[in-house]
Amino acid sequence: MKIFTLGFVSAVGAVVSAFSYDDLLQAPRRSPAVPNKDGTTGAFTESTYSFSSHSWNASLKLVSLETGTTKAILDDANDVGDFAWAGTDAHTLLYLNESSAYTELWSLNIDSGKTKELYSFPGSVSLLKTRSTPSGVRVVVSGWAAPDGSLLSPDAPAKHDAGLLYDTTFVRHWDYWLTENRKSVFGLLLSEKDLTKVKEPFTNYLKGLGIESPIMPFPSSSDYDLHDDLLVVNAKAPELNSATNTATYFYAVNYTSSNSRDVPLNKAGYGACSSPTISRDGKKIAGLVQLENGYESDQNIVFVYELAANGTASSAKNVTYGKTFDRSPSSVFWSPDEDNVLYLTGEDTGREVLWRLDLKEPNGIPVLLNTTHSVESAEFIKSSSSKLLLSSSAIVKSTYYEIFDMKSNSTTLLLDATASVKENRVGEFWFTGSRGVQVHGFIMYPSHFDSRKKYPLAFLIHGGPQSAWTDAWSTRWNPIVWSDNGDDGYIVVTINPTGSTSYGKDFTDKIQNNWGSYPYIDLVLGLEYVTKKYTFIDSERMIAAGASYGGYMVNWIQGSALGRVFKALVTHDGVFSTLNQYGSEELYFPIHDFGGSFLKNTRGYYKFNPMNRMYHWATPHFIVHNAKDYRLPESEGLLAFNVLQELGVPSKLLHFPDENHWVLKPENSRRWHKEIFDFINHWSGSGFAMSVGDSETVLGIESAAELLAEIAAIAEIAESVDGDVEVM
Ligand SMILES: *[C@@H]1O[C@H](CO)[C@@H](O)[C@H](O)[C@H]1NC(C)=O
Ligand SMILES: *[C@@H]1O[C@H](CO)[C@@H](O)[C@H](O)[C@H]1NC(C)=O
Ligand SMILES: *[C@@H]1O[C@H](CO)[C@@H](O)[C@H](O)[C@H]1NC(C)=O
Ligand SMILES: *[C@@H]1O[C@H](CO)[C@@H](O)[C@H](O)[C@H]1NC(C)=O
Ligand SMILES: *[C@@H]1O[C@H](CO)[C@@H](O)[C@H](O)[C@H]1NC(C)=O
Ligand SMILES: *[C@@H]1O[C@H](CO)[C@@H](O)[C@H](O)[C@H]1NC(C)=O
Ligand SMILES: *[C@@H]1O[C@H](CO)[C@@H](O)[C@H](O)[C@H]1NC(C)=O
């Protein structure tokens, strides 16, 4: 495999250098590539952070879809936001210029490189989408709308006091406090011949509908889709409290008379909907629907709606419901030239894949296509149904582009990644888990791996809990960087225990009311499996680390016998007390996962609470918690740290005042890696002997039966604590 960039030495006999966190954070990051209308060229952005200049440098680039050659068309493009091809013109890109508080729409001719300002929005907007229609080029964006429906003006007078008053739940979300402003979808129509000519003025298409779209806290342009005189948007159910309900509806909105479309297309008492997409003829809308309101990780079912003249649905078909297909796709889009064919992307068995779904097939089962590693985005090239431009990534490489050909059911590499390591740095394994079903995991090897040596183990636990380690690249918790940390590196193991996504609905759903049981036992059995199978793992030098639910699990492990098996633990924005989950924002999440509200099922919150076992905490522990984390408030990290300090357990607390649940800024991320790696390297160093039992019981725990007994004992403690609480 070709190894390039980032100082890898590929000469024969030369040492391959380790992939450090500086390499990770300074590697160019790419957007998905977007093909133009004649199928000749893809456009993408590449952004590079430098620790020497302490700044980003972005450029807008083109890739030939025939040869894969690239060309930077716009350098020093730090102020370039979203971009899109201008209607049917294959030579003109539109982009958002974010250099001031008033976002501007600019055009770029890809032959001459000439740029031109077309329009200045009355405030800040993002998430650009365009469509060439018979009446002109429709340009759609999103931004914050003031209560009167206008785009929030940067010149709006500041209030004299900073108080925020609420009389209903859902007061903050992810990393912001709710105000009277709401996200909305805006747009205008430009003349196709002369893009500086505005044919229909800038309008809030949702004004007066009483709905918010795109959906916070991760607004996405996949929440709306454009057709000639029809816009479909996905919005939270306006009559339900967003803190306790996941339900969203699709609305078919008429650009010119939006008030006629205030009836949702698909109100049916279901949960969250996503990815609405309009068919070629504008008569059908496909989308993903979760049947259970309040369960954010419920399986996504493909639905197809026929549109009635008044914008409601004249029929709804649940295409994949009740079928043997138990995966949960994350996006859906129509074939450009086959009326009854949909394509889906989503997770399948630890990777992200592409499926084709023929609506004429009576069994409604999507057919897997032969793609590589993980597909991050897929777009048809031209209006043909045979080729798609894929943006993909892997554990071993950052975003790369390839062309998938339906005819041969295979991909051809178009442009390789900006950062990569050898393919053989990653392996996979399966073992029998707590419920007798197979559990999947990945193993990562350090760059100088020698199977005759012994390596410390980094055991990483994912968040969610309904999420997964996949064969994809990430700038956070990148397992390759963990494996190249320290003198000789680490073996890194990532397991997808009960509750993980990509293994089917049942595997995901089974974590409900069982946060500390099945997944915990899966992790113990997985650790037992890898330490027996991979003899190069030094079971005297193991560390465990996790974020969010992964941090919950690390705290849970700290209080169990398993906690004594590790030399160090790391909790990033984790849970100290499950009771505090009611101080979170999306209350539907604990209500679902703990079997009811705090008041109605108090027992469910006491059951697997790391705090119940804090008296046993003894292993050196690194805590990270950030100020703007409103999902798991920072008191969780402070509580854990205060308890560790009182117990005299070696511990550190790292805090970022300017980060939320995630550490996103490169300089902060560099500090995060440095402090955590210094800590685990110190404690996993040799010479810190600790008895972990004989070779037959590597973990000092006999069997799953013994673990279940431990869990039962915990549940009993929960019952007794619960005894003092009046349960409604
Ligand atoms: C950004 O990168 C481009 C292309 O590599 C280079 O020409 C330009 O000087 C860089 N700008 C800065 C500010 O580093
Ligand atoms: C963005 O707009 C500013 C101000 O109008 C201009 O100076 C700058 O060149 C523009 N940048 C791009 C990439 O269009
Ligand atoms: C949108 O509204 C206009 C004006 O009322 C009407 O002419 C047009 O047919 C409507 N479009 C759709 C798709 O209903
Ligand atoms: C929309 O039209 C359908 C028939 O096509 C009718 O059944 C339905 O009641 C109408 N809905 C509204 C809100 O007008
Ligand atoms: C799905 O469709 C079938 C067949 O039309 C119908 O019987 C069933 O009630 C539908 N279920 C849901 C949840 O929409
Ligand atoms: C395409 O390849 C996948 C394997 O990745 C296979 O499961 C599927 O059956 C193939 N489809 C066709 C039509 O050959
Ligand atoms: C999948 O594609 C690869 C080449 O990318 C090819 O070697 C393999 O045979 C294909 N598998 C199937 C099932 O088509």
What is the structure's pLDDT at 258? Answer: 53
Task: Look at residue 1 and tell me if it is in a domain.
Answer: no
Residue with CA at minimum distance from ligand 1 atom 14:
57
At 249, which helix (H) or strand (E)? strand 248-253
**Cβ(121)–Cβ(141) below 8 Å:** yes
Task: Look at residue 607 and tell me if it is in a domain.
Answer: yes
Q: Which atom of ligand 7 is nearest to the CA of 372?
A: 5
Report, in angstroms and rounded to the nearest whole number, the Rg of the chain calculated over CA atoms. 26
Task: Look at residue 270 and tell me if it is in a domain.
Answer: no
Supply 237's token pair. 């159910």
pLDDT digits (tens, 9 = 90+) for 227-236: 998 999 999 9
Whose structure tokens read 């225990």?
A: 497
Supply 172's token pair. 């903050």
Alpha carbon 220 to its chain centroid, in Å, reads: 12
**Cβ(369)–Cβ(404) below 8 Å:** yes
**Cβ(348)–Cβ(367) below 8 Å:** no
The amino acid sitting at 345 is T
The Cα–Cα gap between 205 and 723 comes to: 54
Task: Look at residue 682 and tell me if it is in a domain.
Answer: yes
What is the structure's pLDDT at 256? Answer: 86
Q: Which of 26, 55, 57, 74 has most ligand 1 atoms within 8 Å of CB, for mutation? A: 57
Q: Which of 502, 629, 651, 673 is catalytic?
A: 629
Q: Which atom of ligand 3 is nearest to the CA of 255?
A: 1
Supply 515's token pair. 């946060």
Cβ(48) to ligand 1 under 6 A? no
The Cα–Cα gap between 55 and 667 comes to: 10
Q: How confident is the model at residue 385 (pLDDT cuts 50, 70, 90)?
A: confident
> E strands along 563-658, which residues?
568-572, 621-624, 651-654
Q: Which atom of ligand 4 is nearest to the CA of 311?
A: 1
Q: Which atom of ligand 2 is nearest to the CA of 115?
A: 14
The CATH number that applies at residue 546 is 3.40.50.1820
pLDDT digits (tens, 9 = 90+) for 404-418: 999 999 999 999 999
Task: Look at residue 97 and tell me if it is in a domain.
Answer: no
Residue-number span of the structural domain to which 487 is assigned = 425-719
Q: Which of 373, 572, 592, 661 is catalytic?
A: 661
Beta-bridged to residue 316, according to DSSP, are 305
What is the structure's pLDDT at 527? Answer: 96
Task: Look at residue 604 and tell me if it is in a domain.
Answer: yes
Cβ(316) to ligand 5 under 6 A? no
Distance in Å, CA 311 to ligand 4 centroid: 8
What is the structure's pLDDT at 698? Answer: 36
Beta-bridged to residue 368, according to DSSP, are 355
What is the structure's pLDDT at 11? Answer: 35
Domain tally, the chain:
1
pLDDT digits (tens, 9 = 90+) for 394-450: 999 999 999 999 999 999 999 999 999 999 999 999 999 999 999 999 999 999 999
Distance in Å, CA 374 to ligand 7 centroid: 15
Reply yes or no on whether the pLDDT at 692 is more than 50: no
Q: Which of 60, 79, 94, 95 has most ligand 2 atoms within 8 Å of CB, for mutation? A: 79
**What is the dihedral sign for C-alpha 252, 253, 257, 258?**
positive
Residue with the bigger pLDDT between 364 and 112: it is 112
| Ligand with smallest separation from the Cα of 312 | 4
Q: What is the DSSP string of 685-704?
A: STT-------STTTTS---H
**What is the dihedral sign for C-alpha 552, 555, 560, 562?**
positive
Q: What is the mean pLDDT of residues 35-56?
A: 96
The Cα–Cα gap between 27 and 13 comes to: 25
Counting residues of the chain whose pLDDT is more than 90, the rounded percentage is 84
548 is catalytic: yes
Q: How confident is the model at residue 707 (pLDDT cuts 50, 70, 90)?
A: low
What is the structure's pLDDT at 312? Answer: 85
Q: What is the pTM of this model?
A: 0.92
Instruction: Indicate the range of 8-22, 83-97, 535-549 predicted with least confidence.
Output: 8-22
Reply yes or no on whether the pLDDT at 74 is more than 90: yes
Task: Look at residue 518 and tell me if it is in a domain.
Answer: yes
- 198-204 and 182-190 as β-strands: parallel, antiparallel, unpaired? antiparallel
Reply yes or no on whether the pLDDT at 259 is more than 70: no
Nearest 10 degrees: CA dihedral of 614, 617, 621, 622?
Answer: 10
The Cα–Cα gap between 103 and 84 comes to: 15
Nearest 10 degrees: CA dihedral of 285, 290, 292, 298?
Answer: 180
629 is catalytic: yes
Alpha carbon 316 to its chain centroid, in Å, reads: 29
| Ligand with smallest separation from the Cα of 77 | 2
Q: How confident is the model at residue 345 (pLDDT cuts 50, 70, 90)?
A: very high
The Cα–Cα gap between 41 and 91 comes to: 9
Residue with CA at minimum distance from ligand 4 atom 5:
308
The Cα–Cα gap between 241 and 701 comes to: 45
Mean pLDDT of the chain: 91
Task: Look at residue 273 and tell me if it is in a domain.
Answer: no
**What is the dihedral sign for C-alpha 520, 522, 523, 527?**
positive
The Cα–Cα gap between 513 and 206 comes to: 39
pLDDT digits (tens, 9 = 90+) for 500-516: 999 999 999 999 999 99
